[in-house]
Amino acid sequence: MRREHGTPRNDWEKTIESQGLAYHRAAHPAGLSRPYWDESVHYVFSMDEVEELETQVEELHEMCLRAVEHVVSAGRFADFAIPEWAWEEVARSWERRDPYVYGRFDLRYDGTGAAKLLEYNADTPTSLVESSVVQWFWLQDVFPDGDQWNSVHERLIDRWRALRLPSGPTHFAFTNADETGEEAMTVAYLQETAEQAGLHTVAVAMEDIGWDELNRRFVDVEERVIRSAFKLYPWEWMLSDDFGRQAVRHATWIEPLWKTLLSNKALLAVLWELNPGHPNLLPAYLDGPRDLTSYIAKPLLGREGASMRIVTPEGTQETPGAYGREGYVFQGFEALPVFEGQRPVLGAWMIADEAAGLGIRETTGLITDDTSSFVPHRIAD
């Protein structure tokens, strides 16, 4: 694993915008000197490294599924701050094995030893367009004979084909609250892969989904029944919504309700409890840092690195934010590795039960947040 430099393509901004990364300016805070998509650098991996990462990521995925089985069997929903009225519905969703499509593991990795799980974005992961499409076309333009850990697009199509969804169109729902356009483009891309798989699809805003009280069903603005829907909208938001009780019982939602147990950072503590000392895990606890001398306190339902606190013998650092009402997990802290002053975090994609690709974000800080830049990668000969 190494970091290399290159010359950005002529008109690279127009190129990536034409490939779906239309939000690259809006998704980045104003005033930063570095663009969100930065192809002036890239990371290089050996095939051996990639194959080893694939194996580790799929093992993490299997461990996560076993963790869900444990939580459901033991009834540990309170550890995840799930409303009590929804516990039975989460259990039923798991017992039915409601269908799922994708997720993204965030990993600490420096090219030596095992990758360490930082968190699992299992419900509403983004950076999909840049991981699947944009960096692939970068590779074709800059290294036409090169290779990349990236079968995301093909595996998404295969996954949609494999799903057994209710009759009628599958709706793809975004939220109008997204001002950057990132979520709308992510949903549009996933909708495109579903259409390539042969599904009949309809786009809809979450805010335009209605509840037909008489017939006990969700409908879109044209009164079409919503029997199945992909939504880039967190389950914790849905459960707190006025129609949350209807949502858990009506329609097939992707990602499914049981993913609330994987997208919640309490998962990190359960994984460590079930697999103590596992090389891909960092120690993590729900009841405090215990004997950890360096740790990071993460809100169970936090996003974009907000509301975190890093405690080390050298001092304490905090990030602003309003998360944490539901509680925190305390995870052993290992700083991200440094490559030429930048700290990369690896986003390893799971499609169904298979490792499918890699996206890399990097920043100078200890926490990867919305100021980070996405950089492409390739596999060396």
The whole-angstrom separation of Cα 361 and Cα 36 is: 9
Output the pLDDT for position 30. 72
- The overall pTM is greater than 0.85: yes
Tokens standing for residue 326: 């539901």
Q: What DSSP string runs through 260-305?
A: GGTSSTHHHHHHHHHSTT-TT---EESS--TT-SSEEEEETT--TT
Contact 111, 248 (CB under 8 A): no
Output the pLDDT for position 294. 97
Output the pLDDT for position 31. 73
Output the pLDDT for position 284. 98
Burial pattern 134-162, b for ≥16 Cβ within 10 A else e, equals bbbebbeebbeeeebbbbbbebbbbbbee
The whole-angstrom separation of Cα 78 and Cα 58 is: 27
Output the pLDDT for position 316. 94
- Residue linked to tokens 């440094």: 338
Between the alpha carbon of residue 178 and those of residues 1, 85, 184, 293, 373, the distances in Å are 35, 29, 8, 38, 19
- Which of the residues in the chain have pLDDT under 50? none
Dump pLDDT digits (tens) for 200-256. Answer: 999 999 999 999 999 999 999 999 999 999 999 999 999 999 899 999 999 999 999
Tokens standing for residue 150: 């990236």
Output the pLDDT for position 29. 75
The whole-angstrom separation of Cα 355 and Cα 152 is: 9
Q: What DSSP string runs through 334-358?
A: -PPP-BTTBEEEEEEEEETTEEEEE
CA nearest 292: which of 309, 275, 271?
309
Output the pLDDT for position 9. 97
The whole-angstrom separation of Cα 49 and Cα 46 is: 5
Output the pLDDT for position 322. 86
Output the pLDDT for position 40. 97
The whole-angstrom separation of Cα 113 and Cα 357 is: 19
